[in-house]
Amino acid sequence: MNRVAAPPVTLLVNGETHALSLPPATRLSEALREGLGLTGTKVGCDAGDCGACTVLLEGAQACACLVPLGQCEGARIETVEGIAATPEGQALAERFHAAGAAQCGICTPGMLVAATELLRENPTPSEAEVEEALGGVLCRCTGYRRIVEAVLGTGPAAEEGGVGARLPRTDGAPKLDGTALYGADGAPADALWLRTIRSPHPHARVILGDLEGFARAHPGLRLLTARDVPGRNGYGIYPHIKDQPVLAGERVLYRGDAVAALVGPRDPVLSVPPSALPIAFEVLPALGDPDVALGANAMHTDFPDNVLAEGRVTRGDPVAALAEAAHVVEGTWRTSFVEHAYLEPEAGWARRVGDRVEIWCSTQAPAMDREEVAGVLGLSLEAVRIIPSACGGGFGGKLDAGMQPLLALAAWVTGRPVRAAWTRPESMAASTKRHPARITARAGCDAEGRLLALEFEGIYDTGAYASWGPTVAGRVPVHATGPYRVPHVSARARAVFTHQPPSGAFRGFGVPQAAIAQEALWDRLADACGLDRLEFRIRNALVVGDETATGQVLAHSAGQRPCLEALRPRWNELRAEAAARNAKGGTLRHGVGIAGMWYGIGNTGMSNPSEMRLILEADGTLTFLNGAVDIGQGSSTVLCQIAAEALGVPVSALRHVNGDTDLTPDAGKTSASRQTFVSGRAAMEAALDLRARVLAGRNAAIGWDGKRLTVGGEAFVPAAALEGVGRFDPPTTPLDGEGQGVPYATYGFAAQICALAVDTRLGTVALQRFVAAHDVGRAVNPTLVEGQTHGGIAQGIGLALMEEYIPGRTENLHDYLIPSFGDVPPIECLLVEESEPLGPFGAKGVGEPALVATAPAIFSAIRDATGVEVTRIPALPHRLRAALKEAGW
């Protein structure tokens, strides 16, 4: 770091004395990371909001991002690296590992540090004490319950073994001692910095001024603009819509749109004020509302009505069916932008190696990043290498290439390594969001409560660029009925452009919004028929042999009914408890809600292959080449379990190579809950292929002696490497104009119960319990399945009750609230295993399904407690109170 010399600050870090010659106002987090290379201390916000940077300062928790280095003269500091080296730290880490308390692992250092402070003072804390002591650290993946259990030592125990075992995650160890390298870690010391200059306006004309003059005045800096992009200045998910410019040349279409990149040594790059840049904006009127955008001038010439994509499913005659229905209900709902809020903001670095470029970055889709970078730089695919870092959370938000083309461009034109880390506000402003949806729906049933028809119309605000908008528009109508038999359906979803942040992929691709409407209608119909809400759903649940609204006959693994039935005992108990509490009166009203969901695994009616390889080298090494990036959900562990089981060896036998596009075949992206099902099947096929090659027709048992493969008990080392290759592309057919076809090869099913209390005077909601039944086909690793369920529920809670991204207003984790410790109540997981014949060992996926049912279950419970229907989401206290007031509370 080239900064003015200051007298060194001496501090004692993990027992060692260090003298750091950095400016005293430097954040302690930066000093530890950049000055001492202790990158186990993470940076998620630089604002005290996330706690990822928590260290012990004189034994007490502190956010290292808020402490000036100058304040630490002579201070004793402990970081995760130091704590992990102590016996107490190791014991704690072991409990985290077994319980699955570290998923992506980016919050884990902060959690371990915070828990260490607590356990030193109080070795036997209560649950409440754990929540209070760790309450300053946020986690976006786990839903906190498993972390509490790990601290208390009450979590699930670790098991050895293949499919079905609670094997601790194979990539877990480095996440627990601070050595895992994420996007912002491990860049070379001489890397230049890249700062993206972004539009503060939602719509403006870009006026580039005297670039040469700026260059002359700032000889060490390089200001890259649209004209520096050698290839295609656009990227995007769909091959025919590369509409998001790497650097906007003429117009910016949302607050956060990238206009220029300033590259050079860190301090000057970060200190140039925007006013000193030769960039000006002429503000233009912005379309903030999709209803207005629908009739307005086109933002993109290829999309005349600002309709990016439309998906529809039509079946039967819903108009006639509704006219004859015994009961008909309808409603409108409105949801908000939801931010992924992965606790690791986008980060990475790139370098040019001869005529190739290598990018190290936090991503969910290395193969797609590679294509984008090649296109933007005008290079061949072979000239680009993507090396995924450990990924500190993605949830769909790291499927878009965002930073990668910029880093590659800067490294390419400067010939120097270049690094970047988006600040939290930048990450929130620039990255994609969950689509806000406006849904109008109407449904009817007969007098016995059999569903007859559904009409569904959804307008999804897709923001400034296409991103995953078409995927959302396509997926929503297919899922509009939920996992229920509805003979007459007309469902349409449109993704509409506005000058808002691009809406993209976010756990569930638009389905969680639709499920809110669908499940609310079912509650009302159940009431209209005088049926119990759970029984109403059981009566209508899809079962094997049923036809879905797209005309697909479900041949196997349709576990909706078993999920609902599994919930019945708890449903009755929780309802009785709520009734007893309500009988006592008071401001709190108790309620219990229920919601079901289904989720098509993999892409909608489109090919989405995966390829896996397993190699037995001539030296006996068994190498698993797995291109599916693990974003914390645990795919690496699950795929290793599947491959090892199919081959007949323990997981520890596998040398695992993950993600690097130079080394691994394309497994497709980590999205659509597809890695267990699609890549899992490919991994199984690869193992079976290798197995056949090893056995070469013999009939013997394969094993592992600790070092080498064994066949019939004898060590087996091949003369030349043997390679097993597995490919799988789930069989689907494209949907026709009426939305008919086989969009997915299999579906995940689930139902969740929520018990809660509403404070009727303040409009606040206290969640008390979730019971979640998920049909996952086969739980390859129950701890990981539960981990996904917990995390999905936590995100569903956020969606339902607190999360609302407003550009320029909630661009930080202070104003944008995600659930904290104590916002996620106890969760009971019931695993339902309706085996899927296409899946590896019967398995399907669970990543997204976990979230879909949560918000509707919460609203169902609020309605049960108070009679109030939540239609404006999130149900912030002031909104809920307004609705309560209207209902006479």
Ligand X SMILES: Cc1cc2nc3c(=O)[nH]c(=O)nc-3n(C[C@H](O)[C@H](O)[C@H](O)COP(=O)(O)OP(=O)(O)OC[C@H]3O[C@@H](n4cnc5c(N)ncnc54)[C@H](O)[C@@H]3O)c2cc1C
Per CB under 6 A, residues contacting ligand FES are 43-46, 48-53, 63, 65, 102-107, 139-142, 343, 393, 632
* Residue 44 Cβ vs ligand X, minimum distance, rounded to whole Å: 12
> In the set 764, 769, 828, 889, which binds other proteins (CB under 8 A)?
764
Residue 59's identity, in one-letter code, is: G
812 binds other proteins (CB under 8 A): yes
User: What b/e string do you get for 141-154 counting C-beta neighbours within 10 Å, with b at 16 or more?
Assistant: bbbbbbbbbbbbee
103 interacts with, out of ligand X, other proteins, ligand FES, none, CB within 5 to 8 A per kind: ligand FES
**Interface residues for other proteins in 620-679 (CB under 8 A)?**
none
Q: How far apart are CA 630 and CA 362, in angstroms?
A: 10
Q: Is the Cβ of residue 280 or residue 717 nearer to other proteins in the bound state?
A: 280
∠ CA 781-785-786, nearest 5°, is 120
- Cα gap 439→519, rounded to integer Å: 13
In Å, how far are 101, 667, 709 from 157, measured between CA atoms? 12, 31, 28
Residues of this chain, 198-217, that bind other proteins according to CB under 8 A: 198, 200
42 makes contact with other proteins (CB under 8 A): no
Q: Which does 106 bind (CB under 5 to 8 A by kind): ligand X, other proteins, ligand FES, none?
A: ligand FES
**In this chain, which of 819, 842, 845, 849 binds other proteins, going by CB under 8 A?**
819
283 interacts with other proteins by CB under 8 A: no
Residue 57 binds: one of ligand X, other proteins, ligand FES, none (C-beta under 5 to 8 A by kind): other proteins
| Residue 806 interacts with, from ligand FES, ligand X, other proteins, none (CB under 5-8 Å by kind) | other proteins
Smallest gap from Cβ 50 to ligand X, in A, equals: 8
Q: What is the 3-state secondary structure (H, E, C) of 169-235?
A: CCCCHHHHCCCCCECCCCCCCCCEEEEEEECCCCCEEEEECCHHHHHHHCCCCEEECHHHCCCCCCE
| # chain residues binding other proteins, by CB under 8 A | 73
- The pair of structure tokens assigned to 320 is 């006639």
Taking each helix axis from N to C end, the angle separating 469-479 and 511-529, rounded to the nearest 10 degrees, works out to 20
Question: Pick from 187, 272, 592, 857: which binds other proteins (CB under 8 A)?
Answer: 272
DSSP string computed for 68-122 = BGGGGTT-EEE-HHHHHTSHHHHHHHHHHHHHT--SS-SSHHHHHHHHHHHHHH-
Is 54 among the residues that bind other proteins (CB under 8 A)? yes
Min dist CB 670 to ligand FES, Å, is 14
Q: Residue 105 or 469: which CB sits closer to ligand FES?
A: 105
CA 355 from chain center: how many Å? 34
Contact window for other proteins (CB under 8 A) among 489-497, 542-550, 554-562, 810-818: 810-818
Residues ≥6 apart with Cβ < 8 Å to 576 = none
Q: Least distance (Å) from ligand X to the CB of residue 139? A: 15
- Does position 424 interact with other proteins (CB under 8 A)? The reply is yes
Nearest approach in angstroms of CB 704 to other proteins is: 46
Coil, strand, or helix at residue 325? coil
**What gap in Å lies between CA 44 and CA 170, rounded to an integer?**
24
Cis amide linkage into residue 874, ω under 30° from 0: yes
CB of 53 to ligand X, least distance (A): 11
Binding mask 488-507 for other proteins (x = CB under 8 A): --------------------
Give me the residues that bind ligand X (CB under 6 A), please: 48-49
Q: How far is the CB of 344 from ligand FES (least distance, A)?
A: 8
Complex with other proteins: residue 23 or 551, whichever CB lies closer = 23
Binding mask 102-131 for other proteins (x = CB under 8 A): ------------x--x-------------x
Rounded CA separation 632/642 (Å)? 18
Q: Is 288 in the site for other proteins (CB under 8 A)?
A: no
150 DSSP assignment:
H
421 vs 496 by CB, closer to other proteins: 421
With both helix axes pointing from N to C terminus, report the angle between 108-121 and 145-152 in degrees, rounded to the nearest 10.
40
Binding partner selected for residue 67 from other proteins, ligand FES, ligand X, none, CB under the kind-specific 5 to 8 Å limit: other proteins
- 10 Å CB burial of residue 821 (0-12, 13-18, 19+) is buried
Q: Does 83 bind other proteins (CB under 8 A)?
A: no
Query: Is 316 an interacting residue with respect to other proteins (CB under 8 A)?
Result: no
Other Cβ atoms closer than 10 A to 454: 29
**CA atoms within 13 A of residue 11's CA, in its CB half-sphere:** 26
State the chain's maximal CA–CA distance in angstroms.
84
Nearest approach, Cβ of 817 to other proteins (angstroms)?
5
Distance of closest approach, residue 182 Cβ to ligand FES, in angstroms: 11
Q: Which is nearer to other proteins, 421 or 784 (CB)?
A: 421
Least Å from the CB of residue 275 to other proteins? 9
By CB under 8 A, residue 796 contacts other proteins: no
Instruction: By CB under 8 A, tell whether 551 contacts other proteins.
Output: no
Exactly one of 66, 211, 531, 657 binds other proteins (CB under 8 A); that residue is 66
- In the complex, the smallest distance separating the C-beta of residue 136 from ligand FES, rounded to whole angstroms, is 8
The CA radius of gyration of the chain, in Å to the nearest whole number, is 27
- Residues numbered 823 to 842 that lie near other proteins (CB under 8 A) are 823
Cβ nearer to other proteins, comparing 239 with 273: 273
Q: Which letter does DSSP use for residue 547 in this model?
A: B
Is the distance from CB of 44 to CB of 50 less than 8 angstroms?
yes
Binding partner selected for residue 393 from other proteins, ligand X, ligand FES, none, CB under the kind-specific 5 to 8 Å limit: ligand FES
Q: Does 354 bind other proteins (CB under 8 A)?
A: no
- In the complex with other proteins, the residue whose CB is nearer, 47 or 663, is 47
Contact status, residue 411 vs residue 350, Cβ threshold 8 Å:
yes
Cα–Cα distance for residue pair 410/652, rounded to 1 Å: 40
- The option from ligand X, ligand FES, other proteins, none interacting with 877 (CB < 5 to 8 A, set by class) reads other proteins
Q: Which residue of 490, 626, 752, 810 would you call a contact of other proteins, by CB under 8 A?
A: 810
Strand, helix or coil for residue 477: helix
- Which one, 138 or 491, has the nearer CB to ligand X? 138
Q: Where are the beta strands (DSSP E) in 742-826?
A: 747-759, 764-775
Closer by beta carbon to ligand X, 75 or else 663 = 75
Judged by beta carbon, residue 82 or residue 345, the one nearer ligand X is 345
Stretch of residues binding other proteins (CB under 8 A), selected from 81-89, 156-164, 423-431, 479-487: 423-431
698 burial via Cβ count (<10 Å: 0-12, 13-18, 19+)? exposed
Taking the complex as a whole, the smallest distance from the CB of residue 46 to other proteins amounts, in Å, to: 4
Nearest-angstrom CA–CA distance, 577 and 278: 66
Closest approach, Cβ 47 to other proteins, in A, equals 4
Q: Which helix (H) or strand (E) holds 578?
A: helix 560-583
Minimum distance between the CB of residue 809 and ligand X, rounded to whole angstroms? 18
Give CA–CA dist 283/350, Å, rounded.
34
784 binds other proteins (CB under 8 A): no
SS3 category, 730: coil
| DSSP of 626-643 | E-----SS-HHHHHHHHH
Nearer CB in complex with ligand X: 49/775: 49
SS3 percent helix, strand, coil of the chain, rounded to 5, is 30, 25, 45
Among 809, 826, 837, 887, binds other proteins (CB under 8 A): 809
Kindly tell me which residue out of 330, 334, 877, 889 binds other proteins, with binding defined by CB under 8 A: 877
